[in-house]
Amino acid sequence: MKKFILKRLGLAAISLFLLSLTIFLLIRISGDPAVLLAEPGASAADLQAIRNQFGLDRPLWVQYVSFISHLFRGDFGQSFYYRTDVFELYLSRLPASLLLAAAAMVFSLVIGIPTGIIAAVRVNKWQDSIGKIFALLGLSMPSFWVGLVMILFFSVYLGWLPSSGSGTIWHLVMPAIALGWVFAAAHMRLTRSSMLEVLGSEYVKLARLKGLPEALVISKHAFKNALIPVLTLAGVNLVIMVNVAVIVETVFAWPGVGRLLFEGINFRDFPVVQASILLGGTMIVVVNLLVDILYAVIDPRIRYEG
Amino acid sequence: MNGTAANSRSVSTVLALPSRLAFIRSEGFPLIPSLILLMITLVAILAPVLAPHNPEVGVLGDRFRPPAWQTGGTTDHLLGTDHLGRDVLSRLIFGSRISVVVGLMVIIVAGAVGTALGIISGYLGRWVDQVIMRVTDAWLALPALMLAIFLAAIVGPGISNIIIILAAVWWTRYARVIRGEVLSIRERDFVRLAVVAGCSKWKIMRMHILPNVINSAIVLATLQLGQVIIAEAGLSFLGVGVPPPLPAWGLMLADGKKGLMAGYWWLTVLPGGCIMLMVLSANLLGDWLRVKFDPQLRQL
Amino acid sequence: MTGPLLDIRRLSTHYVSARGTRVTRAVDDVTLSLDQGQTLGIVGESGSGKTTLALTLLRMLPPAARIVSGEMLFEGSDLIKKPENEMRRIRGKRIAMILQDPMMSLNPLFTVGDQVAEPIRVHEGTPRRSAWKRATELLKAVRIAAPETRVGEYPHQLSGGMRQRIVGAIAISCEPRILIADEPTTSLDVTIQAQYLNLLRDLQRSHNLALIFITHNLGIVAKMCDQVAVMYAGRMVEAGPVKQIYNAPAHPYTRALLESIPRLGDNRQRLTAIDGQPPDPSAPPPGCAFHPRCPKVMDRCRSEAPPEFRVTDTQTSRCWLSAPAAR
């Protein structure tokens, strides 16, 4: 088990390295980095000052080392707009995004898993068809459009739910559904196909041959095995949700890191944009690592294969 | 097909030439989605002819007119006008151009690059494979949207920029899947025969491997089309995609938000509906293709 | 209890294709019976219907299959007429089955002990702790070393031979009357096969099980079984005591099967095989299904399918050659 964890840690470290390198290079080779790194409306003198400050004339690898060392110290620069440390700014907005992502994830699993199981158990019957249609719709509608339409209905026409901001649980409902909708469809699809595969397996056949009641066959033997790929995907999706939420957060003015990114783009606040990407990517790598480890805990086979 | 050619290349062509249209009658062929896609493409091509008004210029006095069947609407603007008085129907028609062009270009470019790299990586193996795969994995670690936003923020808006950015983000998906296929094709006898016969690696890749992965590439491309269109709409919505005053559907949604609280539903529902229609059709077509041509891709 | 433990009479199971166009007679008019403590080998090539027969017995057929006619009397009552919840009580408890691939038969996420104890807990309502103890004893009974440790391990930690024994332990856990083994040694190493077969035979004797052994391997049947039934294209072409049939096969197919086994000391230059291929189950030849490959084919065989004839008291053969007038 230990070997397994170490190996995964190593791979995660490589991913982080490549991520930072990619971002770094992208900035450096896209035109004049000084323009990006300086505030909008900077004069030529300002640009030169920026060049000196960031050492943009020095060799690339020196710059990279300096870049990385700043990151390690948690120094992501100052926000032009908010005039505070970007890292702190990001961290202050993170809980809101996590809350939204958690709510959306709960929604997607609560809808997705049972529908997937029912569709698999009643494969090719009408329940399955409804499930398939639902999955298809979910994957075809942009999440922000779902959000906008919901606002139209529930805020403008019916007046039931608030259309923006945060604070009460009612503020959470629509953004969570808008964000979780696509993932619900994806989880439903995966649950269905995973369950179908498990239901056709030899050990399920043997379970039936043992004379176990069908409910037990499904809930004990099929369910746990079928869930493994779904939970893996869900774990990975959770952090993707946080990052993809930028659009939903913008629609609902939800004060998370996604909206922060949008503000960064709007106000041309480059340090904010850069930090969002770096931190967002880091979160993904870390969560992937944790999910891999969790996977090994659930499925004993993985521990020994490493 | 002539016999000797068939011997030296074991090709599984997607649509055999003479019986090109026979597949329409095959079971489960998604006729309506395909027709919808065809129609959208035609609308895109014929946009200048079809659109009743100029999509980019509006009369301010005419702003926020509802569609013709509601009170306050006119038949002059069948689907209403937006906040600048521009005709919604014309904008939707011209907007289809952007969706079609961006969508097709991205999947073609990403598909070509991704497939090529996938083949090279899968066939040549060893360090080439390692390098390409590490890069792909690192790239895939970031969700497409984030990276696209970042790149867009750096390089600025514009249609060609968007195409390049989206293609740059999406090629990795092709590379991974195609590489997997190549790994199994590589072991098959007709490839071994070609090696024994002394074909160069490039020739083998081009003549033997490529035709056999084209199916998967096409299926993948169709499945990705929907996602690409949604991504482009998302980017435009955020303001880093297609720049105004171009009538991209995503931009229309961003503008539409301004009128949302006042109940101007047509500015939101109609553009989004178009997006949904196109994506849904692409997804249905892609699903059918996947089931028909390559059951191995089912795990996508 | 009078009468045989298991009495199958004129059983037919057909597969119907999705549009109802093609009918495959997977099991066609099969009659056989089994007493307590008897071992029956069912022999045939793949596609002969032997597995379908086993699945029919346990009413575990896929939706496309239908039991068309006949009866299956187990302890006197017809299994075909039983409702599903009664069948469920019979499966695993009174009739048990071993499948071919032990790796696939065991759930990778649960321990060995859990899976062995499961039928005991479900069928007999035994509490966890005592079921676990019984599982350990069962592992001992199937000759697994260090059963106390093994019982807490997962299937992937065990070798193929051990896994197949565990499947065997699961099968006998509730003391069934009948045990069906469907090609249990096919996926085992040759060296393990003999051990496993010995184990099965000992288990059968000590628990007085009726054993149905499905295989394509005549050698195993000779070793393990008292009775044998030979299947071809869904029909039972010959049945009777092993010794009798192996010494004097009445049906040309059986004879050909026996002759095709190479023997030591056999100084023929070429191996004998049976000409031709087994028929497509959905489109069998008219008359006797074996006639295209039969060295003794007569005109009658091509048009009329032979019924079962009694060759002796205990041996039957479905062949015109065995008709009373012909002898």
C62 CA to chain A: closest CA distance, Å?
A: 11
C140 C-beta neighbours (distance < 10 Å), count: 16
Residues C118 and C134: their CA atoms lie apart, in Å, by 11
C and B adjacent (3 or more CB pairs under 8 angstroms): no
| CB-based contact, B108 to chain A, within 8 Å | no
Structure-block tokens of residue A261: 């990114």
Instruction: Check residues C245 and C275 and name the one with the higher pLDDT.
Output: C245
Position C264 scores a pLDDT of: 66
Structure-block tokens of residue A211: 């004379």
Position A246 scores a pLDDT of: 84
Position A72 scores a pLDDT of: 80
C321 C-beta neighbours (distance < 10 Å), count: 18
Q: Give me the phi and psi of B42, to 5 degrees please.
A: -60, -45
Q: Which chains touch A (3 or more CB pairs under 8 A)?
A: B, C
Put simply, the answer to whether B233 touches A142 (Cβ < 8 Å) is yes
Q: In sequence order, what are the residues at sequence separation of 6 or more whose Cβ sits closer than 8 angstroms to the Cβ of residue B53?
A: B77, B86, B87, B89, B90
| CB-based contact, B299 to chain A, within 8 Å | yes
Among residues C67, C74, C65, C124, the alpha carbon closest in space to that of C95 is found at: C74
Position C109 scores a pLDDT of: 81
3-state DSSP helix/strand/coil percent for chain B, to nearest 5? 70, 0, 30
C87 CA to chain A: closest CA distance, Å?
A: 8
Of C88, C105, C109, the CB nearest to A211: C88
Position A199 scores a pLDDT of: 87
Best mutation site among C87, C109, C115 for testing chain A: the one with the most A CBs within 10 Å? C109
Position C212 scores a pLDDT of: 93
| CB-based contact, C89 to chain A, within 8 Å | yes
Beta partners for residue C96, in sequence order: C179
Structure-block tokens of residue C191: 């060296």
Distances (CA, A) of A282 to A68, A275, B7, B141: 13, 10, 51, 9
Position C266 scores a pLDDT of: 63
Contact (Cβ atoms closer than 8 angstroms) between residue C121 and residue C131: yes
C86 C-beta neighbours (distance < 10 Å), count: 13
| CB-based contact, A221 to chain C, within 8 Å | yes
Instruction: Check residues A235 and A191 and name the one with the higher pLDDT.
Output: A191
B21 CA to chain A: closest CA distance, Å?
A: 26
Among residues A187, A181, A158, A182, the alpha carbon closest in space to that of A170 is found at: A158
Mean pLDDT for chain C overall? 85
Structure-block tokens of residue C260: 């095709």
Contact (Cβ atoms closer than 8 angstroms) between residue B241 and residue B179: no
Q: What is the average per-residue pLDDT within A271-279?
A: 83
pLDDT tens digits for range B4-32: 443 333 344 444 434 555 565 566 678 88
Instruction: Check residues B26 and B186 and name the one with the higher pLDDT.
Output: B186
A213 CA to chain B: closest CA distance, Å?
A: 30
Position B2 scores a pLDDT of: 42
Position B7 scores a pLDDT of: 38
Residues A261 and A272: their CA atoms lie apart, in Å, by 7
Single-letter code of the amino acid located at B216 = S
Residues C222 and C271: their CA atoms lie apart, in Å, by 21
A110 CA to chain B: closest CA distance, Å?
A: 22
> How many CA atoms does the CB half-sphere of C194 hold within 13 Å?
2
Of C89, C99, C106, the CB nearest to A211: C89
| CB-based contact, A215 to chain C, within 8 Å | no
Contact (Cβ atoms closer than 8 angstroms) between residue B73 and residue B89: no
Position B6 scores a pLDDT of: 38
Rg (alpha carbons) of chain A, rounded to whole number: 23
Contact (Cβ atoms closer than 8 angstroms) between residue A228 and residue A298: yes
Residues B253 and B268: their CA atoms lie apart, in Å, by 5
Helix (H) or strand (E) holding B14: none
Sheet strands (E) in chain A: none
pLDDT tens digits for range C297-326: 888 888 888 888 888 888 889 888 888 764
pLDDT tens digits for range B72-108: 777 777 788 888 888 888 888 888 888 899 999 999 9
Residue-wise burial string across C119-134, b where 16 or more C-beta atoms lie within 10 A, e elsewhere = bbbbbeebeeeebbeb
pLDDT tens digits for range C63-99: 888 888 899 999 888 988 888 888 888 888 899 998 8
Residues B261 and B271: their CA atoms lie apart, in Å, by 17
In the predicted structure, residue B175 carries a pLDDT above the cut 50: yes
Structure-block tokens of residue B42: 């035609």
pLDDT tens digits for range B48-69: 888 888 877 777 777 787 887 8
Residues B231 and B145: their CA atoms lie apart, in Å, by 7
Residues B129 and B186: their CA atoms lie apart, in Å, by 14
Residue of chain A whose Cα is closest to the Cα of C171? A210
What percentage of chain C has pLDDT greater than the value 90?
A: 10
Tell me the three-class secondary structure of B53-112, residue by residue.
CCCCCCCHHHCCCCCCCCCCCCCCCCCCECCCCCEHHHHHHHHHHHHHHHHHHHHHHHHH
Q: DSSP code of C278? A: P
Single-letter code of the amino acid located at A279 = L
Put simply, the answer to whether C91 touches A201 (Cβ < 8 Å) is no
Strand C65-74 versus strand C77-78 pairing type: antiparallel
Distances (CA, A) of C208 to C94, C136, C141, C183: 13, 21, 15, 21
In the predicted structure, residue A212 carries a pLDDT above the cut 90: no
Best mutation site among B131, B146, B161, B268 for testing chain A: the one with the most A CBs within 10 Å? B146
Residue of chain C whose Cα is closest to the Cα of A202? C105
Residues B275 and A275: their CA atoms lie apart, in Å, by 31
Position B8 scores a pLDDT of: 36
Residues C117 and C92: their CA atoms lie apart, in Å, by 12
Helix (H) or strand (E) holding A222: none
Q: What is the average per-residue pLDDT within A180-199?
A: 89
Beta partners for residue C15, in sequence order: C24, C65
Helix (H, G, I), strand (E, B) or coil at C98: strand
Contact (Cβ atoms closer than 8 angstroms) between residue B114 and residue B171: yes
Of A156, A262, A280, the CB nearest to B146: A280
Position A47 scores a pLDDT of: 75
The set of long-range contacts for B293-298, using a CB threshold of 8 Å and a minimum separation of 24, is: B293/B14, B293/B215, B293/B216, B293/B218, B293/B219, B294/B215, B294/B216, B294/B219, B296/B181, B297/B177, B297/B216, B297/B219, B297/B220, B298/A193
pLDDT tens digits for range A138-178: 888 888 888 888 888 888 888 788 777 777 788 888 889 99
Mean pLDDT for chain A overall? 81
pLDDT tens digits for range C139-183: 988 888 888 888 888 888 888 888 888 988 888 888 899 999 988
In the predicted structure, residue C104 carries a pLDDT above the cut 50: yes
pLDDT tens digits for range B223-246: 889 888 988 888 888 888 888 778
In the predicted structure, residue C39 carries a pLDDT above the cut 90: yes
| CB-based contact, A301 to chain C, within 8 Å | yes
Contact (Cβ atoms closer than 8 angstroms) between residue C66 and residue C13: yes
Residues B38 and A151: their CA atoms lie apart, in Å, by 32
Among residues A207, A229, A228, A210, the alpha carbon closest in space to that of A218 is found at: A207
Put simply, the answer to whether A212 touches C92 (Cβ < 8 Å) is yes
| CB-based contact, B268 to chain A, within 8 Å | yes
Omega into B245 within 30° of 0, i.e. cis?
yes
CB < 8 Å to C82, chain A:
none
| CB-based contact, C187 to chain A, within 8 Å | no
Q: DSSP code of C34? A: E
| Dihedral-angle region of residue B158 (phi above 0 means left; psi in -120 to 50 means alpha; beta otherwise) | left
CB < 8 Å to A22, chain B:
138-139
List the end-to-end C-alpha distance of chain C, in Å, as a whole number.
38
Helix (H) or strand (E) holding C39: strand C39-43
List the end-to-end C-alpha distance of chain B, in Å, as a whole number.
32
| CB-based contact, B76 to chain A, within 8 Å | no
Put simply, the answer to whether A140 touches B283 (Cβ < 8 Å) is yes
Position C180 scores a pLDDT of: 92
Structure-block tokens of residue B164: 């390049």
In the predicted structure, residue A261 carries a pLDDT above the cut 80: yes
Put simply, the answer to whether A261 touches B283 (Cβ < 8 Å) is no
